[in-house]
Structure 1
Amino acid sequence: MADGGALPGLQRIAGLVRSVRTPEFEGITFHEITSKSALNKVPAASHVPFRWTVNPYRGCSHACTYCLSGYAPISMADGSTIPLARVRPGDHVLGTRLEGRSRRLVRTQVLDHWRTSKPAFRVELDGGTSIVASGDHRFLTADGWKHVAPGGDDEPERPHLTTRDHLMGLRRSVVGAAVRPGDALAVSYVRAMDVELPMFDLTTGTGDFIAHGVVSHNCFARNTHTYLDLDAGDDFDRQVIVKVNVADVLRREVSRRTWAREHVAMGTNTDPYQRAEGRYRLMPGIIEALAGSGTPFSILTKGTLLRRDLPLLRRAAEDVPVGIGVSLALLDETLHRSVEPGTPTPKARLDLIRAVRAAGLPCTVLLAPILPGLTDSEKQLSALVAAVADAGATGISHIPLHLRPGAREWYLGWLEATRPDLLPLYQRLYHGGSYSHQRYRDWLRARVEPHLRRHRLRADDEPADEPADGTLDDRRRPLHGKRWGPRLTPEPAPAEPGQEALF
């Protein structure tokens, strides 16, 4: 049935056909659109081994806790961050003041806070930060204040962001620290989202504030999930955009003479075999379009619905290279119900791995996201790798949890309610940004690799040799009790793949 209660502004999405709800997907609204493009080009700044993706869905009916996002993070005067929507008049935040030739952080008071609605733009930075703002919003760049987008046809020309700009940001949330540009703050792209979204505004004593770690003032939208042009909290789980014509559009794109038949990766943003695929059946047409054009492809999923298409995938593998990946982060059923409600159980995913292998297809397993203090013990990882090996996996890679701004607030809120004893650990591991500390990543790799060798499974990185005497080096000793203070600055982590429509 048509949904009269859809989010305000969704009617303005380009190509919107209708918004529907169905009894079998209680609480979820599907917004069916006709898309102009199917292939999406990954920005050059993303350190991933592929350049193209196809995403038939935006949003996810799996409802994973760690996929959620809150409001744009605002740097408070006490060094903490809170979502923009929770800031109130009278609060003290970090602003800036020009002192000589340097602009430095100062304590300033919030004088007003309100909400409005405006057409939204996405600003993607080379370091992986994704910001949603109105076109009128201004950021401080190395060349001065600039609007997100140029003015309208009947408006005077104004400075606006381009890919040559570097935003000014903070390295330390300390009053008196200077704000500077950085490579991670270079603008990767600015794109109109073709939707009107709620925006939040602050008035401060300095006329600016720090959001997403950069200097800004004027309106900000609620921080959205990187892969969905909507609120990334409940909306990411409950407002799913469906590209109903994606297979037809893809078929036209891959038949062009200019298409070089490069590898296409699916499941890198939203899961193509989420529950909604059972209703819309978009993947068979996508698989046929890619295989029919001679385009190699891979699929990463946690959805057992992939079993439906195994005969089709097996036929496709006779014509083009086909890679299948299944993500599985834990075996604990209780923890699974808490952090991944709505997703197939660990047992169901192990059965999926067996089914893929029985169909004669290779199956790599992505152990992700590994949750520090929750799923990274020697016993847990040993059992997980053993179970995956027993299911017949042909390879394993692993990724620790990422906590992007917004998702950070949601996940840490869940952690505070369920395991408050782990909050100090997360504050140490993630104090420098969205990625866990480099020492933790090294430690985790060293802990996982011996289990891979034991089961003769290959990994993404060639493991280092174990000590000849069989002893464990420091990287494999438990780190949860170590004191990792702010003096340890994590190395910049590679940007996660964003999306840029080419056609």
Structure 2
Amino acid sequence: MRWEGQKLESDSGDALPGLAKISNLIRSVQTPEFAGVTFHEVAAKSALNRVGPGSAVPFAWTINPYRGCSHACVYCFARPSHQYLDLDAGKDFDSQVIVKVNVAEALRRDLARPTWDREHVALGTNTDPYQRAEGKYRLMPGIISALAESRTPFSILTKGTLMRRDLPLLTEAAQSVDIQLAMSIAIFDDDLQSTMEPGTPTTAARLATVSAAVDAGFDVA
């Protein structure tokens, strides 16, 4: 498979110095389908992130299946988080994407803890869960199923039209748990969007995804 054939070893001359700071690295992968992007697959110990005390956000927990984002929005506030891995906040944030390949299994362990109180969980707070990588890795279906089965309410904020793929699963999950969906649309000018958000779907495609979600019974923000 082409996907397998493009594996980079951590001691390869093409490897980044910062790879040593990526915990539980399994492998680094490049593929022609995602030209210019390297995926660093990791085994996550936990999926849930607790929001720090004093935060103004209306939720206490988040899940980020990816770190870094190929949407490449120039204004993204999450860019500095890549510097913790000795990767830069510019091009590396767009092209060096950390993939928590076992995030659904890690989440199920988190949710099975006796102390878990089924508090609201937010996705899309740091990097987009429906960025292009999701088309390959398909992490969101497992996350959605785990949250729904544990009766944990959750929300998804995205610019990605891949959410449309999961609408049947989300519709089923909404029968047992509260789900909130939101589509981020900041720019309506196509030329400006291609400059400011070069890796995102078009505004028209995002609006079509909103329409599909509304047709499926969701009140999309």
Deviation of the 1:360 alpha carbon: 0.7
Q: 2: distance between equivalents of 1:231 and 1:45?
A: 28
Sort the Cα spacing of 1:302 and 1:235 in 2 relative to 1 into closer, same or farther, 3 A. Answer: same
Q: 1: distance between equivalents of 2:46 and 2:83?
A: 16
In the alignment, which residue of structure 1 is the partner of 2:3? Answer: none
In the alignment, which residue of structure 2 is the partner of 1:247? Answer: 104
In the alignment, which residue of structure 2 is the partner of 1:10? Answer: 19
CA deviations on 1:43-70 (whole Å, 9 max, x unpaired) are 012111000000000000111121289x
Q: Which of 229, 237, 248 is equivalent to 2:94?
A: 237
Deviation of the 1:295 alpha carbon: 0.2
**In the alignment, residue 273 of structure 1 is paired with which amino acid?**
Y
CA deviations on 1:238-280 (whole Å, 9 max, x unpaired) are 1000000000010111011110000000001100000000010
| Conserved 8 A contact 2:107-2:143 | yes
CA deviations on 1:291-346 (whole Å, 9 max, x unpaired) are 00010000000000000000000000000000000000121111111111010101
> Would you tell me which structure has more helix in proportion to its own residues?
2
| Conserved 8 A contact 1:227-1:270 | no
* Match status 1:358 vs 2:220: no
In the alignment, which residue of structure 2 is the partner of 1:331? Answer: 188
In the alignment, which residue of structure 2 is the partner of 1:412? Answer: none
In the alignment, which residue of structure 1 is the partner of 2:168? Answer: 311
Q: Which of 10, 34, 49 is equivalent to 1:25?
A: 34
**In the alignment, residue 125 of structure 2 is paired with which amino acid?**
T
Q: 1: distance between equivalents of 2:23 and 2:15?
A: 15
Q: 1: distance between equivalents of 2:23 and 2:195?
A: 36
**In the alignment, residue 41 of structure 1 is paired with which amino acid?**
R
| Conserved 8 A contact 1:244-1:282 | yes
CA deviations on 1:206-244 (whole Å, 9 max, x unpaired) are xxxxxxxxxxxxxxxxxx623663311100001000000
SS of match in other structure, 1:251: helix
Identity among equivalent positions (%) equals 62
**In the alignment, residue 18 of structure 1 is paired with which amino acid?**
R
In the alignment, which residue of structure 2 is the partner of 1:289? Answer: 146
| Conserved 8 A contact 1:68-1:236 | no
CA deviations on 1:139-161 (whole Å, 9 max, x unpaired) are xxxxxxxxxxxxxxxxxxxxxxx
**In the alignment, residue 2 of structure 1 is paired with which amino acid?**
K
For structure 2, the 5+ residue unaligned runs are 1-5
**In the alignment, residue 42 of structure 1 is paired with which amino acid?**
V
CA deviations on 1:70-122 (whole Å, 9 max, x unpaired) are xxxxxxxxxxxxxxxxxxxxxxxxxxxxxxxxxxxxxxxxxxxxxxxxxxxxx
**In the alignment, residue 165 of structure 2 is paired with which amino acid?**
R
| Conserved 8 A contact 1:6-1:29 | no
In the alignment, which residue of structure 2 is the partner of 1:225? Answer: 80
For structure 1, the 5+ residue unaligned runs are 70-223, 365-503
Q: Which of 249, 255, 271 is equivalent to 2:128?
A: 271
Sort the Cα spacing of 1:327 and 1:228 in 2 relative to 1 into closer, same or farther, 3 A. Answer: farther
Q: 1: distance between equivalents of 2:55 and 2:68?
A: 21
**In the alignment, residue 62 of structure 1 is paired with which amino acid?**
H
Q: 1: distance between equivalents of 2:77 and 2:112?
A: 37
| Conserved 8 A contact 1:68-1:232 | no
**Structure whose CA Rg is larger:** 1
Moved over 6 A (4+): none
SS of match in other structure, 1:66: coil
| Conserved 8 A contact 2:71-2:200 | yes
**In the alignment, residue 291 of structure 1 is paired with which amino acid?**
A
Deviation of the 1:13 alpha carbon: 2.0
SS of match in other structure, 1:240: strand
**In the alignment, residue 7 of structure 2 is paired with which amino acid?**
A
In the alignment, which residue of structure 1 is the partner of 2:206? Answer: 349
Q: How many residue pairs end up in the alignment?
A: 210
Normalised TM-score (structure 1) = 0.41
Q: 1: distance between equivalents of 2:89 and 2:77?
A: 6
| Conserved 8 A contact 1:58-1:228 | no
In the alignment, which residue of structure 2 is the partner of 1:44? Answer: 53
| Conserved 8 A contact 1:68-1:233 | no
| Conserved 8 A contact 2:123-2:154 | yes
> Would you tell me which structure has more strand in proportion to its own residues?
1
* Match status 1:262 vs 2:119: yes
| Conserved 8 A contact 2:51-2:61 | yes
Q: 1: distance between equivalents of 2:184 and 2:83?
A: 20
Structure-to-structure mapping, 1:66-465, within 5 angstroms: 66-67=75-76, 225-226=80-81, 229=84, 230-364=87-221
**In the alignment, residue 308 of structure 1 is paired with which amino acid?**
R
**In the alignment, residue 253 of structure 1 is paired with which amino acid?**
D
| Conserved 8 A contact 1:62-1:340 | yes
SS of match in other structure, 1:226: helix
